[in-house]
Each structure stands twice: as C-alpha cells, then as structure tokens.
Amino acid sequence: MTSFAGPRFRSATARPAMRAVAAANTRTRRFRRDEDGSILVFGLLLFTAILLLVGVSLDMMRFETERTRAQYTLDRAVLAAADISQTADAQVVVDDYFKKAGVEHFDPVATATKGTYNEWKKVVGTLNVSTNTWFMNMVGVKQLKAPAAATAEEKIGNVEISMVLDVSGSMNDEVYDSRGRGVGTKLELLRPAAQEFVTTMFKNVSGAGTKEGKLSISLVPYAEQVNLGSSFSGYFNLSSEHSRAACVDFTGSDFNSLAITPTQALPRTAYAYVRSNSSTFRECTGYDTTAIASVLPFSTAEASIKSAIGALTAEGDTAIDIGAKWGMALLDPAAKPALDAMITAKAADASITGRPFSYTYPDTLKILVLMTDGENTNTYRLMAPYRAGISPVYKDSNNKYYYYRPDRDSSAYDFYSYDRTQSIQTGTVRQCDWRGRNCKDVAVYETTSWFRASDINGEAAITWPQVWEAFTVNTFSSQMYAKAMGVGSSVFYNAAVDHANNDTKDDRLDSICTAAKNKDVLVFAIAYDASDRGQKALKDCVSASSYYYDAQGTTIADAFAGIANSINMLRLTQ
C-alpha cells in the first residue's frame, strides 16, 4: 500500500523564535571571529604587573638605603665606643652618633665588656631596621624588617718598639720654614717629635688603669756606630782588649740574621783612628773620648726615654745598617737572656719578663721605627790581628815609640823611631895635613832613626790598643811601618783596615730589613730631608709603602704622629 506524505506546515508563532535563535548563533560565531580589543586587555594586565614590580623595587630600595645607613652609623658608633680611652658609657656614645647622624629613630642598643685591667674592651651594638611599604602593602606586606649588628674590640696587646734614630753630624744642620726663617736644627726638631711619639705610645698602650708590662721601648741612637754603653754592653760578650768604648764591628754575614745572643763573641770596635786621612775621629767615640749617645734598652719608663731623647747630640757619619741591626736585635727573642739578667740586677722592670717574645707570641706587635736624614756612608773596621795582643812597637821612658824589626840586617840596630834620631859611627876615614903628614883615623857618623835595644831607656813592648791611643792608623802606616819596613805608605793600612762603602751598607740594610719583614716585624721609616739614595734605601726597607714617611723641614713631628696613629690602628680588631 502506497502511502503519501504531504508537505510540512509550521505555525506562524514558531518562525520569530527560529529567527532569534539563528541571529544569536550568528552573533556568537562573529564574536569568536572578532579580535578587536584583545591587546588592550592584555596591556592593562601587563601594566598592572609592571607597576607592582616597580613599586616592590622602590620599596626594597628605600629599605636597603635605610638599612645601609643604619649599619654604617652603627659600625662607626661601636668602633668609637670600643676605644679603651673612651670614658663615656657605650650606650651614650652610640646614641650620640645616631643623633648626630639624624637616625636616632633606629633606637640602637649597645653593651660593653672590658678586661680587669682595662687591657681590652668589646662593644656589641644591635638594632632593628623597619620601613613601611608603599606598594607592597597592596599585596599584604605592610613593613620590611631586618636586624643589624656590629662588634668592635680594642685590645692592648704586647707592644715592643725599637726607635732607631740618626744622630750623625748632619742632624746639626739648620732647618728653615716656608719664609726662610731658621727654626732650629734637625736634632732640635727631632727631640720633641720623638718625645711626643713616646707620650702617645704610653697613652695608647700603657694608659691609666692598664696592666703594667704592655709596652717596652728601646732607644737606639746611631751615627757611624751604635754605642751599647758601659752598663748594657756588660750583658753581651764583647771582646776585652779595651774598655774605652762599647761598639761592635759586624761583617756582611751578620746582617742575614736578626739575633744577637748574650754569649755570642762580639768584636769590640777598636779605640782607634781608622780613617784613611789621619782624622782624629774614632768610630765609636767621635772626636773626643766621650762615647756617642748610648742605647737605652727595654725601657718601661716614659720619663727616662724622653729624657734620653732630650739629651741626644749629633756627630759623625751615618750607618743605618748598624742602627737597624741593633734595633732588630733588641726585638729578637735571642736577647731574652740579656733582659732576664737585667731584671735580676734590677736594671729593667720585672713587668716585661719574658721579652722579647717569640715572633709568634699571641697579641704582640714588634715594631722597628727607623729614621735618617741622609744615607749610608763609609764604615771602617780594624782587622782582628791588630785589635789586641802585643805589637812590634816599643815605648821608652821618654814616651818615644820604636818599631822593632829583628830581621833588618846583621846589626843590632833593629828599632826604628819616626820621631827620634841619633848619630852613630859608621866607620873611619884617614885624614892627613896638607903635606900628607900627621895622619890619623877619624870616626865617621851618620844621623839615623835606627836604635839598638841598649839605646832605648826602659823600653817595653806595648799592646795594639796602646799603639792606637798614640797613633792614627794612617800615620802609623805611612810614618812608622812604611819607613821601618821599606814599603809603600799604604801597605799596612790596606792590610789593617776593612772599609765598607755605601753600596755594601745599603745591601746590608736591605738584608736586615728583609729578615725583619720575614718575621712579620712592622718596619716604619722616616726620611728627614734625606738624599735620594737614603730615601730609596728606606722605601725598600719598610713593611708597606704606607709605612714610609718623607719628612721635610718642620714636618718631622707629623711623621712621628702618623706612625703613632698607624700603630694604634693596627691594635684594633673589628
């Protein structure tokens, strides 16, 4: 059966609804395809994020600025409060620093502790840095906070100082100010400058309330030699050929070592005129019989050191190397037995028992202060065979001197005198009258400086030290030895005298300074109107370039003050 399907019919009310649905679908498809406005939305989101990041950075920068400011002020305040010489309460000092810096709102807290004898002081400062946020507040962070702390400690450890001061003749030179007016000699300006240095050291290291024995100072004046003095030299093993002076002759190898032990054999400088020009200047005693200023060792008495400095006089040449050698010897622990003996004899204070300490002894500074106004000059040394023992020189009861030469010839005239003559018969000659008659033998005489032992009244051989009290080495060489032996005038001098020039002495100074620096000794130096050569020698000697001071004219006091300040800063630990 065939069925028939007729056409579909929709009611009139259904058509508007269908059109509305179709329109909605069309708008939806169009919206999905339309991209207008999407960049704007993304840009707004990105701008908001950037603004927030910039705000966070600004908040962090403000906070870090405040924190740095607080830390810097706290560091300075705590360091000042830890100064042992500071008598105000630590909290008062710290508060005052913050008030003057305009940051008292940080409200720091300071606590201080110190040693029983005020030999150390430690200050700890703390605070909290808090900054309100401007932008981070939008994400719930209302404040940024951080603690700050600082600790400063000043210790008065053991300080050993050798002041090695040039007292050569040029220290008598006049000093002029910027207007060309004389203000005194170099030595006259040195004295108060060095004395003020001593005052500062005792104030900083050994002030009121401080345990005794923290500071010892050795004063080592030098010219062409260093005079130990009759008392201090007794604690070392100097040779005994005379006692007129207490200087020591060193050789090149001696400058490779810092140590001088009390038992070490030390050749005493000869009491002799050893200059090549017959000068009447003795290496240890100058132009007279009074020794140059002597060493003041291991002193704990401020007044005594300043008095010794005030009494310094100037004369002679310059031996920086020998000054540095003794300055370091008094810092080296090898000198401890000498100080122990001095303490036993009550020649040194018992509070410094144990010094010089070892180079690794804790909380101990060893300091060499080396000052010169010139440069190394020549040093002369009498050789060992001519220092002691019986010489070939004889002296009679009339104070006439004779050189004994037993191998001269077969005659008995073996004693030569350079300042006495006699007539001796050398033979005969036959003389007759004009007619050749009445002839007779007549004795022939000649004047000679040679004598027999029987010609010398009360002759006795004298020692070499006695020879050098009567002659300069140069005069003896040219007037006595050369004529007696028939040789050149300088033969004996060249054999008897060792001469070290400035090149040799600069090398020796460099050796002793290198040895000192290898032991962590702090070497400071002052070149006081010194020559270029002297300046270079000192620059090579110091432990650091900042430890070298070039003093001109009236600035010698500034140089010593600078060293005192540097030493004080080296005693601070943070």
213 and 323 in a common domain: yes
Least trusted range by pLDDT, from 139-143, 398-402, 497-501: 139-143
Exposed/middle/buried for residue 418 (C-beta within 10 Å: 0-12, 13-18, 19+): buried
Domain boundary among 130, 155, 180: 155
Return d(Cα 331, Cα 324) in angstroms, integer: 11
Residue 225 has pLDDT above 90, yes or no: yes
Average pLDDT over residues 113-119: 73
Domain boundary among 128, 155, 182: 155
Q: What's the pLDDT band for 133 if we cut at 50, 70, 90?
A: confident
Q: What is the pLDDT of residue 350?
A: 96
- Structure letter (DSSP) for residue 447: E
Give the residue numbers spanning the domain of 105. 44-155
Return the bridge partners of 461, or none. 394
- SS3 of 389-432: CEEEEEECCCCCEEEECCCCCCCCCCEECCCCCEEEEEEEEEEC
Exposed/middle/buried for residue 445 (C-beta within 10 Å: 0-12, 13-18, 19+): exposed
Answer yes or no: is 405 within a domain: no
Return d(Cα 155, Cα 570) in angstroms, integer: 10
Answer yes or no: is 565 within a domain: yes
366, 254 in Cβ contact below 8 A? no
What are the residues whose beta carbons fall under 8 Å from the beta carbon of 2, sequence distance 6 or more?
A: none
What's the CATH code of the domain at 185? 3.40.50.410
Residue 268 has pLDDT above 90, yes or no: yes
Pairing assessment for the beta strands 572-573 and 143-155 based on DSSP bridges: antiparallel
Query: DSSP for 344-355?
Result: HTTSS-GGGTTP
Least trusted range by pLDDT, from 95-99, 198-202, 280-284, 444-448: 280-284
Model confidence over 282-332: pLDDT tens digits? 778 766 555 578 999 999 999 999 999 999 999 889 999 999 999 999 999
Residue 9 has pLDDT above 70, yes or no: no
85 and 194 in a common domain: no
* CA-based end-to-end distance of the chain: 117
Per the structure, the count of domains in the chain is 2
Answer yes or no: is 480 within a domain: no
135 and 60 in a common domain: yes
Query: DSSP for 515-545?
Result: HHHHTT-EEEEEEES--HHHHHHHHHHSSSG
Q: What's the pLDDT band for 275 if we cut at 50, 70, 90?
A: confident
Answer yes or no: is 239 within a domain: no
Residue 358's CB is within 10 A of a number of other CB atoms, namely 12
560, 189 in Cβ contact below 8 A? no
Domain boundary among 134, 155, 176: 155
Q: What is the pLDDT of residue 28?
A: 65
What is the CA angle 159-165-170, rounded to 5?
A: 165
Residue 278 has pLDDT above 70, yes or no: no
Q: What is the pLDDT of residue 14?
A: 57
12: tokens are: 């009139």
| % of the chain surpassing 70 pLDDT | 86
Secondary structure class of 151 (helix, strand, coil): strand
Q: What's the pLDDT band for 568 if we cut at 50, 70, 90?
A: confident
360 and 372 in a common domain: yes
Return d(Cα 513, Cα 257) in angstroms, integer: 10
Provide long-range contacts, Cβ within 8 A and 24+ apart, for 430-434. Answer: none
Average pLDDT over residues 466-473: 92
Secondary structure class of 13 (helix, strand, coil): coil
Secondary structure class of 4 (helix, strand, coil): coil
Q: What is the pLDDT of residue 196?
A: 97
Answer yes or no: is 567 within a domain: yes
Mean pLDDT of the chain: 87
